[in-house]
Amino acid sequence: MTNEAKHVPELRFPEFEGEWEILKLGDYAIIKGRLGWKGLKQEEYVSKGHAFLIANKHINNGKVNWEKADQITQFRYEESLEIALQKGDLIFSKDGALGNPAIINELPKYATINSTMMLVRPFKEKLSSLFFHQILLSSYFNKLIHLKVSGSSIPHLFQADMKEFYFYTPKLEEQNKIGEFFSKLDRQIELEEQKLEKLEEQKKGYMQKIFSQELRFKDGHGNDYPKWKIKKLGDIGHVSMNKRIYKNETTINGEIPFYKIGTFGKKAETFITRQKFEEYKLKYPYPSKGDILISASGSIGRTIEYSGEEAYYQDSNIVWLQHNDEVLNIFLKHFYLIVKWAGIEGTTIKRLYNKNILNTKIDLPIIEEQSKIGTFFNKIDELIKKQNQKIDRLKERKQGLLQKVFV
């Protein structure tokens, strides 16, 4: 249902009417943080004690990971009993990376927060925790965060900021219905994210078993394939890279995307001319469709499958193995996910040199088995991709509804 009244949402449950009113959070909730506390000594952390949450360490995507929560002594917990967590509490980061709110739906017997977090405990008879949780995920709260982040070297939210935080809200009955609706949608997203995690864990398990040869494929007659051969990557190919492109040869607007190490696998920020692209592609090494591009600096070893698009890549920082017919790209793609590059294990080296790549050992099955392995993992990757897309659609749907359901 749509309504053009000033403080009425575009979309609303049919049994409700009337304008929403603007409220000040300080009149409708307890707002607390840990004050005047210098932190814990190492000996005050224990293996089994009282749960102690730290912002951006134990909360991920609005979910508290209680299993990984730090544990503190009873003495330290009882120092600030006013911030001992209760069901329905809302917590978020008030220092540094502001926000990342979570609602406490379940908790161990004893739990508290550290000094980087703030607690909001709505008065149950006036403000729904489920409803206000969505407010903390909305543009209202994001605007407040933006104001605190802009121009500040150490962003910080004070209790006074939250006490003066204004937002629109309907009566409690409608708050509850809205909060429950979005809580169910959040739960649906959470379940889909759990499915994604299981797929990713399943892939990791198969990767370990297949590349250790604990699990083997059979040929078309049910027989074992031949034993894998141990070789070096340098035995089956050489490192290739694009011709160097200089800064004065790039523009922020152009015809052919030029990927540097910082934009590798993302959106290109610089471009080269088509004329130079066609010239260099003809004269110098250029990847073929299906080749696996490797990041040689920064996040070393990160890979992207070249899909045949028109693009150019930063020399020496983005390379690929120009190999013979002893190996398939579909196999290399997944081998690179578990590879241990020669000469860099246990070091602080931030660059993958050609010698590291060429001296790296690879266990090679015959081509037929390589194809089966690569196809098998590609199918899992496709399932993971589809699951990611499903989650993205649910999140987009939620954002669209938030804009229409909230004033």
> Do 159 and 52 belong to one domain?
yes
The whole-number pLDDT of residue 5 equals 53
Question: Does 154 fall in a domain?
Answer: yes
The whole-number pLDDT of residue 63 equals 87
> Do 244 and 331 belong to one domain?
yes
Instruction: List the CATH number of the domain containing 51.
Output: 3.90.220.20
Whether the CA torsion 47, 52, 58, 62 is positive or negative: it is: positive
> Do 34 and 155 belong to one domain?
yes
> Do 131 and 236 belong to one domain?
no
Question: Does 341 fall in a domain?
Answer: yes
Question: Does 238 fall in a domain?
Answer: yes
Question: Does 332 fall in a domain?
Answer: yes
The whole-number pLDDT of residue 7 equals 87
Sheet with 45-53: list strands edge to edge: 70-72, 45-53, 111-113
- Which among 348, 364, 380 is the end of a domain? 364
> Do 241 and 155 belong to one domain?
no
Judging by DSSP bridges, how do beta strands 21-24 and 166-169 pair with one another? antiparallel
> Do 160 and 37 belong to one domain?
yes
356: domain range?
229-364
> Do 331 and 240 belong to one domain?
yes
- Structurally, the chain folds into a number of domains equal to 2
The whole-number pLDDT of residue 35 equals 65
Question: Does 398 fall in a domain?
Answer: no
- Give yes or no for residue 326 having a pLDDT over 80: yes
**Residue type, position 323, single letter:** H
Q: With bands split at pLDDT 50, 70 and 90, how would you rate the model's confidence at 386?
A: very high
The whole-number pLDDT of residue 288 equals 96
pLDDT, tens digit (0-9, with 9 covering 90-100), for 354-380: 999 999 999 999 999 999 999 999 999
Question: Does 349 fall in a domain?
Answer: yes
**Short-list 253, 242, 259, CA closest to 298:** 259
> Do 338 and 235 belong to one domain?
yes
> Do 239 and 314 belong to one domain?
yes
Question: Does 223 fall in a domain?
Answer: no
Question: Does 127 fall in a domain?
Answer: yes
> Do 158 and 235 belong to one domain?
no
How large is the average pLDDT for residues 94-123? 91
Comparison of pLDDT for 4 and 287, the residue scoring more: 287
Mean pLDDT (the chain) is 91
Contact of 273 with 258, CB cutoff 8 Å: no
> Do 277 and 358 belong to one domain?
yes
> Do 34 and 157 belong to one domain?
yes
- Which among 148, 169, 190 is the end of a domain? 169
